[in-house]
């Protein structure tokens, strides 16, 4: 057993461990930082504490990057913890750099409640002088657990994914994620606590009432609103929507044109909503 006691609550769990139906294993030496090559990311480093994601969304793009076919099929049922993350961060000069957390997998996915690796990473980042500029993308209400730390950053924004206005539709695509209501509540809690927020409608799922949804989101007074359709490519190892999600989308008659029409309607209320991803800040 090789768990670092500093990363886990004691007593340390066995390896691999199950959290609910999730298989959790450690992945030593896995890189937690990535140099951000894509201009649209608008950051210097991406940072992902986990490989795999217990939310297991039907459309997840990150699954396309899994080489092992069996693991790809089992997406959502396993997660690897990058147990050497802090060691790597200590070796890297992050002073004043722009760090985007959660570009590949969710930093506040269910395992984080137990493992607390994202929290340990934030504890490290907040002590750097000058502090890094941080953005966190998540759909996990667990992010409010770390409000004490989030408040200590001079520049930090939480981007919360809110993908539809219907919990029935949400359950078809994201059965393990928090309800839409819970995510909106989380955004409100963050804003009231003085944390900058953005709403990512990404990928946009079918929306039952585009105008009402846009009004609800507008009331949050987020700094940014961004929407995105499903990705589609035939190129392997590119960000791509999983086949299971297309099947569900077809049941709802949801396609690129549906996205376009819905985005147009939402923009009558939220003209500032961008329709493609651009930058973290
Ligand atoms: S939360 Fe994000 S990373 Fe996790 S399964 Fe859903 S889309 Fe993928």
Per-residue pLDDT of the chain (281 residues; tens, 9 = 90+): 333 434 444 334 444 555 567 999 999 999 999 998 767 778 999 999 999 999 999 999 898 889 999 999 999 999 999 999 999 999 999 999 999 999 999 999 999 999 999 999 999 999 999 999 999 999 999 999 999 999 999 999 999 999 999 999 999 999 999 999 999 999 999 999 999 999 999 999 999 999 999 999 999 999 999 999 987 655 544 555 667 788 889 999 999 999 999 999 999 999 999 986 555 54
Residue nearest atom 6 in ligand 1 by C-alpha distance: 57
Task: Point out the ligand 1 atom lying closest to the alpha carbon of residue 75.
Answer: 5
103 Cα: distance to centroid of ligand 1 (angstroms): 10
Cβ atoms of 26 and 52 within 8 Å: the answer is no
Of 245, 19, 47, nearest in space to 138 by CA = 47
Atom of ligand 1 nearest to the CA of 53: 4
| CB of 55 closer than 6 angstroms to any ligand 1 atom | yes
- Ligand 1: atom nearest CA of 102 is 3
Q: Is the CB of 78 under 6 A from ligand 1?
A: no
Ligand 1 mean position, distance from CA 105 (Å): 6
Indicate if ligand 1 lies below 6 Å from the C-beta of 133: no
Global pTM? 0.90
Query: How close is the Cα of 104 to the center of ligand 1, in Å?
Result: 8
């Amino acid at each position: 057993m090789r768990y670092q006691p500093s990363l886990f609550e004691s007593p340390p769990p066995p390896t691999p461990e199950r959290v609910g139906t999730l298989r959790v294993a450690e992945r030593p030496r896995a890189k937690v930082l990535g140099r951000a090559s894509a201009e649209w990311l608008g950051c210097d480093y991406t940072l992902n504490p986990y490989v795999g994601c217990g939310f297991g969304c039907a459309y997840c793009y990150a699954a396309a990057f899994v080489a092992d076919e069996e693991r790809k099929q089992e997406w959502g049922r396993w997660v690897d913890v990058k147990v050497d993350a802090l060691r790597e961060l200590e070796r890297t000069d992050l002073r004043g750099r722009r760090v985007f957390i959660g570009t590949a997998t969710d930093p506040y996915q269910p395992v984080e409640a137990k493992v607390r690796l994202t929290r340990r990473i934030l504890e490290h980042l907040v002590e750097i002088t000058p502090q890094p500029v941080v953005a966190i993308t998540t759909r996990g209400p667990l992010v409010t657990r770390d409000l004490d730390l989030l408040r200590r950053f001079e520049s930090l924004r939480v981007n919360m994914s809110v993908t539809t206005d219907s919990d029935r539709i949400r359950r078809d695509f994201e059965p393990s994620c928090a309800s839409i209501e819970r995510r909106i509540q989380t955004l409100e809690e963050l804003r009231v606590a003085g944390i900058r927020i953005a709403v990512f409608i990404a990928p946009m799922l079918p929306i039952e009432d585009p105008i009402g949804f846009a009004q609800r989101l507008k009331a949050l007074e987020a700094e940014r609103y961004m929407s995105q359709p499903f990705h589609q490519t035939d190129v392997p190892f590119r960000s791509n929507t999983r086949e299971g999600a297309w099947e569900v989308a077809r049941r709802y008659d949801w396609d690129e044109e549906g996205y376009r029409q819905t985005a147009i309607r939402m923009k009558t209320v939220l003209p500032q909503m961008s329709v493609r991803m651009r930058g973290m800040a």
